[in-house]
Structures are given as C-alpha cells and as structure tokens.
Amino acid sequence: MTKCRTGCPTQDHKSYAECCKGLSLAIGEALTLRQKSVDSELKAYRNARAEGIQPRGTQMHQIEQAKRMSDATGVAFGV
C-alpha cells in the first residue's frame, strides 16, 4: 500500500509527508519566481512614472505599450 499523494509520479515514498516535501519545494519556487516577476513589473512602472508616463496598469505589456506610445508621439503617454 502506498503512502503517496494521488498525483505522485513515482508512488514510492515512505510517508505522505516525504511525498509532499517535493511538492512544497516546487510551490515555493513558483511563488519566488512570481514575486520576482511582480517586483520587475513594479520597478518598470515606477521608472515609467518617473519619466512622466502614466501606463494604464502595472503589467509589463501595459507599461511597454505606454512607453512605445510616448516614443512615437514625443509626448508622455497618459498626460
């Protein structure tokens, strides 16, 4: 009888906790990567605001669009 979680690919862990340890590490890594992405977007947003640009949001594609519009028109976007 296995003590692994249902989605475990190997089904050979000695306990449920041992099986979930790898899962917890994977979730932690995913959260760290997401936080880095959010931090990067917020830094880009702050930089755009410092240039006088007002992006429509804090997502990278919105910031980049506002910068492109500013470059194309010669006027800070959203002013």
Range of the domain at 36: 16-73
In a domain, 1, yes or no: no
Please tell me the predicted confidence (pLDDT) of residue 2.
62
Number of domains in the chain: 1
pLDDT in tens, 8-18: 888 887 887 77
DSSP-derived secondary structure for 18-55: HHHHHHHHHHHHHHHHHHHHHHHHHHHHHHHHHTT---
Segment 34-44 shows an average pLDDT of 95
Q: Given a cut of 80, is residue 34 above it in pLDDT?
A: yes
Segment 29-46 shows an average pLDDT of 93
Contact partners, residue 57, CB within 8 Å, separation at least 6: 63
In a domain, 5, yes or no: no
User: Which pLDDT band holds residue 3 (cuts at 50, 70, 90)?
Assistant: confident
Global pTM reads 0.68
In a domain, 44, yes or no: yes
